[in-house]
Amino acid sequence: MLSKENFKRDLSLVREKSPLVHNITNYVVMNNTANALLAVGASPVMAHSIDEVADMASIASSLVINIGTLEKSWVESMIVAGKTAKTRGIPVVFDPVGVGATPYRLKISEEILKECSPSIIRGNASEIISLVRAGVKTKGVDSTAAADDAISSAKELAKQTNAIVVVSGAVDVITDGERVERIYNGNALMAKVTGMGCTATAIVGAFAAIDTDLFNAAAYGMATMGVAGEIAAKSARGNGTMQLYFLDALTNLSTMDIDKVFTC
Amino acid sequence: MLSKENFKRDLSLVREKSPLVHNITNYVVMNNTANALLAVGASPVMAHSIDEVADMASIASSLVINIGTLEKSWVESMIVAGKTAKTRGIPVVFDPVGVGATPYRLKISEEILKECSPSIIRGNASEIISLVRAGVKTKGVDSTAAADDAISSAKELAKQTNAIVVVSGAVDVITDGERVERIYNGNALMAKVTGMGCTATAIVGAFAAIDTDLFNAAAYGMATMGVAGEIAAKSARGNGTMQLYFLDALTNLSTMDIDKVFTC
Amino acid sequence: MLSKENFKRDLSLVREKSPLVHNITNYVVMNNTANALLAVGASPVMAHSIDEVADMASIASSLVINIGTLEKSWVESMIVAGKTAKTRGIPVVFDPVGVGATPYRLKISEEILKECSPSIIRGNASEIISLVRAGVKTKGVDSTAAADDAISSAKELAKQTNAIVVVSGAVDVITDGERVERIYNGNALMAKVTGMGCTATAIVGAFAAIDTDLFNAAAYGMATMGVAGEIAAKSARGNGTMQLYFLDALTNLSTMDIDKVFTC
């Protein structure tokens, strides 16, 4: 079960060290992702050119890859950056946005899994299920195709990839294939704000940058999202103010807020 | 004249069906467009890669093409997606951002009109006038070049293209070339928020996704914008809060708000 | 010392003339940059395609080049637009985002300095120091490499480039290589909002579009930022609301607010 003391320590570490988080992410969320990372205390950088991604990944403390608005030249850069991160031993956090929507997203996600060996994968239930089924198909293992819930898919994906897998939703699930942590914080209005999932992936990237225990880093990142979302929802009146009040809540997140985390 | 009962029915339908609206739009507005579509109840997706636009347009209920920050590779994708949408019979909503500003925008807009046969075209007065004049020049019809107001240009463009044409402004005009609907809602502060026009195009796309009467869909979309803008302006103190309160107003739009629509 | 009367006159001029500011900038900030320009009274356009940048720069009153998320094809467009602006005699304002982070950013920044001869360069202390050191290295002048503060670097860069150089920070510094203006307005929360520096560059671009005295234009732009930031910080509760209240403050900036500018 998540240690609130260690979570508090890690939040302080993020703010103190302000780790550089290198994002190759989608156009829709770049502004909010950068602001969320700044709010939590990290230092964001967005860079995608093939001419500099290896250099940028070389000075970063973690790398976030997000395929929300992918295209050929960006994918090439994702893989170069991912390989650099892998070589350097910094964590790669992968967000397979909409992986089930088109064959291209699935193909690229499989390529990223293979080439960059992400340390953490975060998606919603549909994405995680799509991804593990693809893995299954690729490997010709029929049994798992019957997986009918996100938790078993997440466990299976974690085993296939050796990554920590996070399924975000009303209840967030974090698993390494064996252990399962559930976080019950959050608010339904979060799902009405575009890119909240992408923000979660980036925040997980911030914790992964300062804690080598990536299971815990993922859990702290998701708990941060949940608690900030609850605080924001108290005064938000729609998805417009929700987006902004969420950033405010992240900016001001206190150890007392962390005490509100509800896990099991 | 716009039926408020049908408008209420359509707003409920958008929220109930949550249609997938595929956007190939500009970098400036992607975040707000996605949030506006979520707020009104639709399901937005942004995808522009030539490797997936046909697949994405194949599962969408409408396609929104916006040339705000166009470039060669994006235009190719717009046309592939537009042709896919046309083949499938889903509506294509076209936003010719800044079409009069450069020869390139005009050339591409003409290409999109020709290749994708948009079902609805939405622009401000300058854009619609620029577009119809280009059409005129192309066709060597001098008379219309004298068109000195947006309504006659809009009617002419609707006749040339067989599209519903929307001219947004202090008063929004919707025409099929014969019929003209005017919507008097809105607030001057909307023009100070970047991409409000682009948002309008996307919201029209949401209604077009669930109502085959595209004249009505366009009118309901514009009326939604106008009413939400009025509500937001009551508490906004500048274009910053206006942008967010507008999203909040969309999130909470009620049948009572729809009763405030003023048309003729 | 900054003339508040002339500053007031220039703010009125921006609002009255609504100059077209052509931005080739990064994905993270496009929305906020556009809204900030609208809020202050200017007319923003974002356009980066090689097929139209020369045409767009030909109708603009100033050009803003920002390398925040640069890549090869964008750099080509920046240089074409910059050369067009130079030929036409309109000011080019350059923002060397993260120039010290990767060799690529440095190489491109040097290329832009050489090809586009920016009239104004704005960066934070690290960026200006990185840029002048590169200039030094390129020219083999060792002495300046010892420059250990931003002001001497800024002066050196201004002399090397014949540009007005702005170093933004807790105190903003504007120099032409000889004269130095310092602006003491602003608030620490501004640094927690992504792209505030990019916004500053664009606002400087708005003043440069209507005042041929570029030293003053740069000072007025930075003072506008500082004063609006102070107003916004009074009610902001985190970087979320800060971003929006800042735009509100820009929208409503009055001559009374300008009286609060503190320089020396």
Res A56: pLDDT = 98
Q: What is the pLDDT of residues C1-11, one digit of tens each?
A: 899 999 999 99
Q: Which of C233, C250, C251 is nearest to C242 (CA)?
A: C233
Which pLDDT band, with edges at 50, 70 and 90, does A147 fall under?
A: very low
CA A2 to chain B, closest CA, distance in angstroms equals: 33
A95 lies in some domain: yes
Structure tokens at B37: 């579509």
Contact yes or no for C244 and A243 at CB 8 A: no
Contact yes or no for A49 and C72 at CB 8 A: yes
- What's this model's pTM, rounded to 2 decimal places? 0.95
Q: What is the pLDDT of residues C12-45, one digit of tens each?
A: 999 999 999 999 999 999 999 999 999 999 999 9
> Between A28, A71, A101, which is nearest B31 by CB?
A28
Contact yes or no for C239 and A249 at CB 8 A: no
B87 lies in some domain: yes
Q: What's the half-sphere exposure (Cβ side, CA atoms, 13 Å) at C221?
A: 36
Q: Name the more confident of C35 and B145.
A: C35
Q: What is the pLDDT of residues C157-206, one digit of tens each?
A: 999 999 999 999 999 999 999 999 999 999 999 999 999 999 999 999 99
User: CATH number of the domain that B124 lies in?
Assistant: 3.40.1190.20
Look up the ipTM and state it: 0.94
Q: Residues B2, B8: contact at Cβ < 8 Å?
A: no
Contact yes or no for A55 and C104 at CB 8 A: yes
Q: What is the domain extent for residue A125?
A: 4-258
> Between B30, B35, B49, which is nearest A240 by CB?
B35
Lowest mean pLDDT among B101-105, B138-142, B192-196: B138-142
Contact yes or no for B252 and A241 at CB 8 A: no
Distance CA A221, CA A210 (A): 12
Q: What is the DSSP string of C92-105?
A: EEEE-TTTTT-HHH
C134 lies in some domain: yes
Which pLDDT band, with edges at 50, 70 and 90, does B150 fall under?
A: confident
Which pLDDT band, with edges at 50, 70 and 90, does B1 fall under?
A: confident
Q: Residues B264, B171: contact at Cβ < 8 Å?
A: no
Which pLDDT band, with edges at 50, 70 and 90, does C137 fall under?
A: very low
Structural domain count, chain C? 1
Q: List subunits contacting chain B, requiring 3 or more Cβ pairs under 8 Å.
A: A, C
**pLDDT of B101 above 50:** yes
Residues of C with CB under 8 A from a CB of A: 26-29, 31-32, 68-72, 98, 101-105, 192-195, 236-241, 243-244
Residues of A with CB under 8 A from a CB of C: 27, 30-31, 34-35, 38-39, 44-52, 55-56, 59, 73, 243-252
C264 lies in some domain: no
Res C209: pLDDT = 98
Q: What is the DSSP string of A162-173?
A: -SEEEEESSSEE
Contact yes or no for C69 and A59 at CB 8 A: no
Question: Do the bridges between strand B120-124 and strand B92-95 make them parallel or antiparallel, or are there none, so unpaired?
Answer: parallel
C107 lies in some domain: yes
Q: What is the DSSP string of A128-140?
A: HHHHHHHHHHHHT
Task: Pick the residue from chain B with its C-alpha nearest to C232.
Answer: B240
B94 lies in some domain: yes
What three-state secondary structure class fits B94?
strand
How does the average pLDDT of chain B come out, rounded?
93
Q: What is the DSSP string of C154-209?
A: HHHHHHHHTSEEEEESSSEEEESSS-EEEE----GGGGGSTTHHHHHHHHHHHHHT
Res A135: pLDDT = 58
Task: Pick the residue from chain A with its C-alpha nearest to B54.
Answer: A102
Contact yes or no for B71 and C55 at CB 8 A: no
> CA torsion A183→A189→A195→A201, rounded to 10°?
-10
C263 lies in some domain: no
**pLDDT of B109 above 50:** yes
Task: Pick the residue from chain C with its C-alpha nearest to A33.
Answer: C28
Beta bridge partners of C175: C165, C180
Distance CA C44, CA B40 (A): 28
Contact yes or no for C39 and B239 at CB 8 A: yes
B92 lies in some domain: yes
Angle of helix B72-88 relative to helix B103-116, nearest 10 degrees, comes to: 20
Q: What is the pLDDT of residues C76-109, one digit of tens each?
A: 999 999 999 999 999 999 999 999 999 999 999 9
Rounded mean pLDDT of A64-82?
A: 98
Size of interface A-C (CB pairs under 8 A): 91
Which pLDDT band, with edges at 50, 70 and 90, does A133 fall under?
A: confident
Q: Residues A147, A118: contact at Cβ < 8 Å?
A: no
Contacts by residues B134-141 (CB-CB < 8 Å, ≥ 24 positions apart): B134/B99, B134/B106, B134/B109, B134/B110, B135/B110, B135/B160, B135/B161, B138/B110
Handedness of CA A216, A218, A220, A222 (dihedral sign): negative
